[in-house]
Amino acid sequence: MTGAARNIALYPWFRFFQNLLFWQAIWFLFFQSELSAAEAILLFAVYDIATTLLEVPSGYASDRWGRRRTLIVSALAGVVSGGLFTFGSGFWVFAAAQFAMGAHIAFASGTDGALLYESLADEDRAGEIEAQELRAFRFTFAALGLSALLGGAMAIWGLRLPFAANALAFVALAVIAFAFAEPGRAERAATTGEGARLVTLRSALTHPALMWLFALSTLFYGFSHLPFIFGQPFILEALGGAAFTTEAAFLSGLVTAVMMLLTVGASLVAPQLRDRLGLTTLLLLAFSMLVGLAGGLALFGSLMAVPLLLLRKVPDSFAQPFIAATIQPLLSNAVRATYVSIRSLTARLLFAASLALASVQASRVGLMTLAEVQSVLAAYAVAGLVALAVLALTAGALRRAEG
C-alpha cells in the first residue's frame, strides 16, 4: 500500500478519534465544580481566543511545512489538553488546557481535508472526494454521538472520567497522525516563493465560485451555532427551571447522541438529494433550514422548541461534505489550508461581532429571559432571510462551476 492509499484508509479513523469528545456533555458542569462561574466562562473565552489567534498561522504552517507535521502537532496538543484536564487543577492549569485544545482545533482546520484530497490526487482518485468526505462526515458524527452518550454516563462516577477518556482518544489520534505520509509534495514544491504563494492565494479569494462558497460557509458557521448558544434557556424552561444535577449530564449526553444519530441518518440521503436537486440548490436548502430553525425557536414555546434543537446538525449533512469536496479541486496545494483558515477566521470574527450586537438586547441583571432569547433569534432569522435572498441571486457563480 502506498503512503497516499494508507492516508485515504486512515482518514475516516482520524476524524473518528478527533471527534470522540467525551466531555462535550459535561464540560461546563466540570468547570463550575472546580472553579467559579465567572472563571468557567473565562475558560471558554481562552479556547475561543486561542483557536482564533492560531487559525491562519496554522494554515500557513500546513501549506509551508506539510500536512503530516501539522496534524501531528494538532494531535499532540489534544493529548496535552486531555492530560491537563485529567490530572490538573486550578484556573491557570485549565486555561493552559483550553489553549492546547484551541491549538488542536486550529492546526487540524483545513489541513485534514487537504491531506485527504491531495492523497486522492496522488492516487488518481480525485473524483472520489465527495464520497470520501461524506464517509468521513459519518465517522465524525458517529463519534460525536457515541462519545456524548458515553461521556454523560461516565460523569455519574466522576466528572474527570470523560476528560481521561478523551486523553486516550487523542493518543490514538497521534498514532494515526504519525502513520500518515506527506501527500502533494510536487505541487507545493512548485510554488516556492512567498510572492508566488500570495498571488495564488489572492486568485483563490477572488475566484467567483470560491467567493460564493466563502460567504455561504461564513454564514453557515454563525447560524449553525445559534441553537447551541441559545438553546439552553429552552431546555431549562421545558424542565420547569430544574437545577442541574449529575443525572442532567447523562440527559444532555443522550440528547446530543440523538441529534448526532439524526445527522448521520440525514447524510445517508444527502447524495440522492444532491443528484436530484443539484449542488447549488441543496446548499441553499441547507442554509434555509438553519434560518428556519432560528425562526422556529423564536416563534415557538419551549416545549415545541426542544425537538427543533435535535435537528441542529442536520443541515450540516446537506452542506459541509459537499462544500469541502467542491473547494478542494479549485484550490492549489500551496494555499489550500491557508484559504480554509482565513475562511474560518472570518466566520468566527463576524459571528462574534453579531453576538456583541445581539447582547445589547440582553438583560444586564440575572439570566437571559426566554423572551429576550426569542427576540434575538427573531432578529437573526430576519437577517438570515436577507442573506438567503442575496445568496440565491448570486448563485450563478457556483452553478457555472458546477456545470
Q: H or E element: which one contains 402? A: helix 396-402
Q: What is the pLDDT at residue 329? A: 87
> Residue 236's pLDDT is what?
56
- Please tell me the predicted confidence (pLDDT) of residue 182: 92
Q: What pLDDT is stored for residue 165 in this prediction?
A: 93
| CATH architecture for segment(s) 3-402 | Up-down Bundle (1.20)
pLDDT of residue 88: 86
Residue 348: predicted pLDDT:
87
Burial of 195 (0-12, 13-18, 19+ CB in 10 A): exposed
pTM of the entire predicted model: 0.80
Domain layout of the chain by residue ranges: 3-402
SS3 assignment for 170-201 = HHHHHHHHHHCCCCCHHHHHHCCCHHHHHHHH
How much is the pLDDT for 83?
93
| pLDDT given for residue 264 in this prediction | 86
pLDDT per residue of the chain (403 residues) written in tens, 0 to 9: 788 899 999 999 999 999 998 887 777 667 767 777 667 667 777 888 888 889 888 888 888 889 999 999 999 999 999 999 999 888 899 899 999 999 999 999 889 999 999 999 999 998 899 899 999 999 998 898 888 888 877 877 888 898 999 999 999 999 999 999 998 765 555 455 677 778 887 888 888 999 999 999 999 999 988 877 676 556 655 555 444 444 455 566 677 778 888 888 888 899 999 999 999 999 999 999 999 998 988 887 666 677 777 888 899 999 999 998 899 888 888 888 889 889 988 998 888 888 777 766 555 444 556 677 788 888 899 999 999 999 999 998 788 776 6
Three cell numbers written together for 243: 437545577
- C-alpha cell of residue 154: 461516565
